[in-house]
Structure 1
Amino acid sequence: MISIVVPTLGRPSLDVLLTALADQVTELPEVELLLVDDRRDETGELSVPGALAAYTKVLTGRGAGPAAARNVGWRAARGSWVVFLDDDVVPAAGWARRLRADLAVGERFGGVQGSVRVPLPAHRRPTDWERGTAGLAEGVWITADMAYRRAALAAVGGFDERFPRAYREDAELAHRVRRAGWDLLRGQRVVTHPVRPEGRWISLRTQRGNADDALLRRLYGPRWRTELGLPPGRRHRHAAVTAAGVLAVAGAVAARSAPPGGTTRRVLGVGTGLAAFGWAAGTAEFARLRIAPGPRSADEVATMLVTSALIPPVAIAHWVRGWWRARGARIGTGW
């Protein structure tokens, strides 16, 4: 049997996913669909197409995020393979048939990832948010569409629920599965991941993921990105830009309090100017990196300028918060 686990907050995208699955469910001879309703409040029952009703069971999550919801799902699953799908993907035609082929692998393979396609606008360059979502197409072992042997999940204890967001929890699980002796590979099935609409300040909200990065640093040491196969980040640059900004403000305040015309005031003025220049240069570099490939509309440019100034201190604040919270954390343990 194959178990398909979908954690959901009841978003409209779930209906699209379930409709696509309903069209293909007969191609899977033994299948169950486990919907984990992870909404914190009572907002009504989930709607399931009639073609899926016989295969579907709705479970109640704990409102603790996708990692915890997926754990609820796979622990209730009866299949030897557990396929995790996000509730905002759309399986392509032939997805079920290719899934069966993907899972016909040797016993040494503990997981098989599906391919993710992110449609981008054809009439203009993508925005910063759209480009970020498109990065899912290059992601490894992401649970937008990821199948694991139930035995592999049981061997490592499933997802680490200390990761409360849809961020890093899948890469961390894959790392533990491989450390336990299983191999992972990419399959041939395909899902589409549309870019969901978001507000202009989404890039600031996503900086909360830095707290999860801090947890990974605690768990796996200074080479955690290399060990987990993750791309390099900008934390050190953000820290430098933030420090320059803080020094510039502190220097300006101190200079105003120093005696006029004195050496102290001149030294503080020079130091403040250098710090301000460093902050401005770092912020400009970051903004240019984000503006250049985008549509360069007035609204997008304005948003990138403001958020490029705010992201470094926000990112560092979340990192420090995560670093403090994760003190003493160990692999496979709680806080």
Structure 2
Amino acid sequence: MITVVIPTVGRPTLRDTLAGVGSGVPVIVVDDTPAAELSVPAPVRVVRSGGRGPAAARNAGWRASTTPWVVFLDDDVVPSPGWAEAVVKDLADLPDDVAGSQGRIEVPLPDDREPTDAERHTAGLADALWVTADMAYRRSVLESVGGFDERFPRAYREDADLALRVSQAGHRLVKGDRVTTHPVRDDGFWASVRFQRGNADDALMRRLHGPGWRTAIGGGRGRLRVHAATTAAALTALTLAATAAARARRALRRADAWSRRAGGRLLSRQASRPGRGLVNGVLRQPPVRGLVGGALTQRPGAGGRDARSRQAGVLAALAGAAWAAMTAEFAWRRIAPGPRTPEEVWRMVVTSVVIPPVACVHRLRGEWRARR
């Protein structure tokens, strides 16, 4: 009745996934690594997809199957005991208009402290709709809609895109009772920054499904607008500060050059007038107009340039303050719910500075690709 398809990039957790599925159902592991051949226990079948991403890997897997239903699992989940039997029970006697059934995802979180930002990110899978961490589809429906869109290169949004296309084709998707555990992985210090690559996929989703696609999949609005404002404030502050500094340097150079030229002319005129001359080796002269306290007065028009330079500096300070306020708000939003350990706070502060511009760059890249 079912075939289980598991795309993998060679994670060690694949062993636990296969053990959870058991040996009672056919399993196809799709090796999406460009490296050597993957080793799996018999009778698991291996199909290679050439490292083209999870969408292409899942397509290769379900097309190699022959059963009426295909159940997709990720290679880092652990099906609960009795999972295979629970899948069959979930799919039995479903109405013909039901094209898919989602398993219930559980994310184990620590009991002795608040979850970190990364743990909360993974925990979001428990409420996400139609994620292929555990998702079954009728094979006939996959054929009719063309399977996964391989323009999605990551394990992100390709499952939501498929669910929307299936729903738009007139089918329903439901939730089953089977349970699959998704442990939290430690993806390193910069994991939250790498996640921003998904903004490029969001651009493709908007291009394919319109501006309401987030609501259709039960998602929130996101922070891209705030990230764009934060990035704009940072760029404005840097640009105005550089402009103010450049104007100040030019004003100093011009004032210095004018002072040398004007001083030379004044001294030459004084020396050429009758009664002027050297007394004991020193030029005898009355006070020189244009000198105040022995220094040349400012060149006419320089005050306006100084005012513009000061204005640019003030605007740069205001833009910098806006950037700092938005960055601090973003960092605190991520720090407040967590354990607030020194390591977690430091990671949140650093990545909160980096995330807004990285998110904007990936979104612009995605918009450019989507329009192509």
> TM-score surpassing 0.5?
yes
2:272 is the counterpart of 1:284:
no
User: Which of these residues, 157, 167, 172, is aligned with residue 178 of structure 1?
Assistant: 167
User: Which of these residues, 292, 302, 307, is aligned with residue 263 of structure 1?
Assistant: 307
State the 1:41 CA deviation.
Answer: 1.4
Amino acid at match of 2:348: M
| 1:244 alignment counterpart | 233
| 1:314 alignment counterpart | 358
Matches within 5 A, 1:50-69: 53-54=42-43, 56-69=44-57
State the 1:132 CA deviation.
Answer: 0.3
| 1:5 alignment counterpart | 5
User: Which of these residues, 38, 54, 59, is aligned with residue 45 of structure 1?
Assistant: 38
Quickly say closer, same or farther: Cα 1:19–1:227, change in 2 above 3 A. closer
State the 1:40 CA deviation.
Answer: 1.1
| 1:333 alignment counterpart | none
Partners of 1:88 and 1:190 lie apart in 2 by 14
Amino acid at match of 2:345: V
2:227 is the counterpart of 1:233:
no
State the 1:228 CA deviation.
Answer: 3.5
| 2:58 alignment counterpart | 70
Amino acid at match of 1:94: G
Amino acid at match of 2:243: A
State the 1:196 CA deviation.
Answer: 1.2
Partners of 2:89 and 2:186 lie apart in 1 by 34
Percent of aligned pairs sharing the same letter: 56
The 3-state SS of whatever aligns with 1:210 is helix
Partners of 2:58 and 2:219 lie apart in 1 by 22
- Maintained 8 Å contact 2:79/2:180: yes
Give the gaps of 5 or more residues in structure 1.
Answer: 329-335
The 3-state SS of whatever aligns with 1:218 is helix
The 3-state SS of whatever aligns with 1:113 is strand
| 2:369 alignment counterpart | 325
The 3-state SS of whatever aligns with 2:7 is strand
State the 1:239 CA deviation.
Answer: 0.2
Matches within 5 A, 1:105-254: 105-254=94-243
The 3-state SS of whatever aligns with 1:178 is helix
Amino acid at match of 2:312: L
More displaced 10-residue stretch of structure 1: 227-236 or 310-319: 227-236
Partners of 2:15 and 2:174 lie apart in 1 by 29
2:85 is the counterpart of 1:102:
no
| 1:297 alignment counterpart | 341
| 1:35 alignment counterpart | 29
Partners of 1:219 and 1:228 lie apart in 2 by 14
Partners of 1:225 and 1:139 lie apart in 2 by 12
Partners of 2:17 and 2:3 lie apart in 1 by 16
More displaced 10-residue stretch of structure 1: 137-146 or 228-237: 228-237
| 1:332 alignment counterpart | none
The 3-state SS of whatever aligns with 1:186 is strand
Question: Deviation digits for residues 56-108 of structure 1, max 9, x if unmatched?
Answer: 21111120111110000011110100000001111112212211111021111
Amino acid at match of 1:37: D
| 2:20 alignment counterpart | 20
Partners of 2:179 and 2:62 lie apart in 1 by 22
- Maintained 8 Å contact 1:10/1:46: no
Amino acid at match of 1:68: A
State the 1:264 CA deviation.
Answer: 0.8
State the 1:3 CA deviation.
Answer: 0.9
| Number of residue-to-residue matches in the alignment | 316
State the 1:266 CA deviation.
Answer: 2.3
TM-score in terms of structure 2 length:
0.83
Partners of 2:153 and 2:208 lie apart in 1 by 16
The 3-state SS of whatever aligns with 2:85 is helix
RMSD of the alignment, in Å?
Answer: 1.2
Q: Which runs of 4+ in 1 moved over 4 A?
A: none
- Maintained 8 Å contact 1:89/1:192: yes
TM-score in terms of structure 1 length:
0.92
- Maintained 8 Å contact 2:204/2:366: yes
- Maintained 8 Å contact 1:98/1:189: yes
- Maintained 8 Å contact 1:117/1:191: yes
More displaced 10-residue stretch of structure 1: 217-226 or 79-88: 217-226
Give the gaps of 5 or more residues in structure 2.
Answer: 252-302
